[in-house]
A and B are shown apart, each in its own frame.
Chain A
Amino acid sequence: MTMKSTQNNLPLQEISHESDLDKNFGKHIAKMAHGEKLFGCIQCGNCSASCPMSVYMDHTPRKIIAMIRAGFRDEVLSSKTIWLCASCYNCTVECPKGIKITEIMYALKRDAILTKNYPKGFPIPILSRTFYNEVKRSGRINETSLLMKYYFSYNIFKSLGYAALAIKLFFTGRLILFEKGIKNKAGLKQMLSSSKN
């Protein structure tokens, strides 16, 4: 259980105790990311330094690795960090221990979805889910359909800021309203694994 500190009227701070930690979390994530050697991390911080998103993250990539190993499961899975990873693979290329950090971020995203721990109302997981369902439905992405469905699930009013751009794209032939998708939709559906991961 996480306790909130109210001592000396300091701003509320979340504190986790040893008993709150999930000791198996590190192993679990390493397995999901295919034997990733996250236990070999030397905490050098090359990942955070090379990450263009780290300044916007709630925990930097280096800290996320430390938190996974220590077992801060809920904090890691509900963080915005993992969704702000844009998969640019800078950290993966820069890591001196050869840890595929981008794959760990993907494993965390999948685990957050599976356990419904992702930050609610945060737009990026909503886009991912919409994208996934669109491919399942038609085999291809129609940008118009994807974005309309995304804004319906997230916040329809946010789409208004893009109306002027949409009109320009329409008149330059870049906004395609209808896409038939692939011919063999049945075949694609058949081959999609029912396994969750």
Chain B
Amino acid sequence: MKYLYFPGCSLKSSGRSYEESLLSVLKKMNVGVEEIDDWNCCGATNYMAMNERNAIGITARNLALAEKQGKEDIMAPCAACYMGLLKTQKYIETEPKVKETVLTNLKKSGLEFENTSKVRHPLDIFINDISLDTIKDNVYAPLKGVKVACYYGCQLTRPYATFDDQRDPQSMENIVKALGGTPVEWPIKTRCCSGSMTSTVSEIGLRMSYLILKEAKDRGADVMITACPLCQFNLECFQGKMSGKYGENVKMPVMYFTQLMGMAFGLDKKELGLHRMLSPELSLS
């Protein structure tokens, strides 16, 4: 099993521990990855707000580079990159004018593009290719008694993903169960964390993220897991600020789902990037 890996910008900086834990967990399960050579930014939401053709164009460049490199599926762990790649494929399929411009532009830089790759999120790959049984087989320290709030955020399941439900996804819950933990029932797991608004209109952004943490705490979660570097950053790095601003302590361990997997697999803290985290540590006893 091998995948073409599209990390995206965050996984090389503030979200490094997502990359570290993902690659460690995959290695443990004997799954190979090969980074797409010279990939560029997916454009996220900001780029689409400025120029549509170029937003589709730069993402299509990544898809074209992947095609050039191999026939394997693309693995995109960042929710924004994942959604952006799927959106680009959809645009190319349904908007002939956009397609024409994009293909002409790609050709200018010597790239052919046939739109044949399959774009997958690691959650999809873990459940549908690797299987929950294989995950179970790798568990070394079961998460006995650990209550986990699985937070998906918005763009991971909406609007293009087909591997899980758009309102009430279960992929992470199933993984938590396979690890021996207990997923917490909560209704706002696909509610938006506000994205980059924590640094633009912080009075709104911080409140949106605060509500998510508070709900998870109220429901008795010991830890929250995420699958998007921006959700993770908002929910992990502003806990002190939010607790002060809203007069309620919402500090709790927030980590990537791959880090929790790695802990249950008995992997080293450093391999999982746990030494980089700013939220309280989850202790497994």
Which residue of A is nearest B43, CB measured? A135
State which of B41, B197, B204 has its C-beta within 8 Å of the C-beta of A139.
B41
Q: Considering the chains assembled together, what is the distance between the CA atoms of A190 and B54 in angstroms? A: 11
Does the CB pair B14–A169 fall under 8 Å? yes
Does the CB pair A135–B197 fall under 8 Å? no
Count of A-B contacts judged by CB separation below 8 Å: 169
Q: Does A25 contact B (CB under 8 A)?
A: no
Is the interface on chain A under 10, 10 to 19, 20 to 34, or 35 or more residues?
Answer: 35 or more
- Hey, which chain A residues are within 8 Å of B41, CB to CB? 135, 139-141
Q: Considering the chains assembled together, what is the distance between the CA atoms of A113 and B106 in angstroms? A: 25
Shortest Cβ gap from B11 to chain A (Å): 11
Does the CB pair A174–B13 fall under 8 Å? yes
Q: Considering the chains assembled together, what is the distance between the CA atoms of A113 and B17 in angstroms? A: 36
Q: Mark A139-166, 1 if CB is under 8 A from B, else 0.
A: 1111110010010000000000110010
Which residue of B is nearest A55, CB measured? B204
Does the CB pair A123–B276 fall under 8 Å? no
List residues 35-51 of chain B with CB under 8 A from any CB of chain A: 38-41, 43-51
- Hey, which chain B residues are within 8 Å of A188, CB to CB? 40, 58, 61, 109
Does the CB pair A84–B201 fall under 8 Å? yes
Q: A52-B192, A191-B61 in contact; A92/B158 too (CB < 8 A)? A: yes
Q: Considering the chains assembled together, what is the distance between the CA atoms of A145 and B57 in angstroms? A: 23
Sample (6) of A-B pairs whose CB atoms are under 8 Å apart: A90-B154, A110-B51, A143-B9, A187-B109, A191-B109, A192-B54
The interface of chain A, by Cβ under 8 A from chain B, is: 34, 52-53, 56, 84, 86-90, 92-93, 100, 102, 106, 109-110, 113, 123-125, 127-129, 131-132, 135, 139-144, 147, 150, 161-162, 165, 168-169, 172-176, 179, 182-184, 187-188, 190-193, 195-197
Q: Which 7 A-B pairs have the closest CB atoms?
A: A88-B154, A187-B109, A88-B192, A131-B46, A89-B158, A109-B49, A191-B105
The interface of chain B, by Cβ under 8 A from chain A, is: 9-10, 12-17, 38-41, 43-54, 57-58, 61, 94-95, 101, 105-106, 108-111, 154-155, 158-159, 166-167, 191-192, 194-197, 199-202, 204, 208, 237-238, 275-278
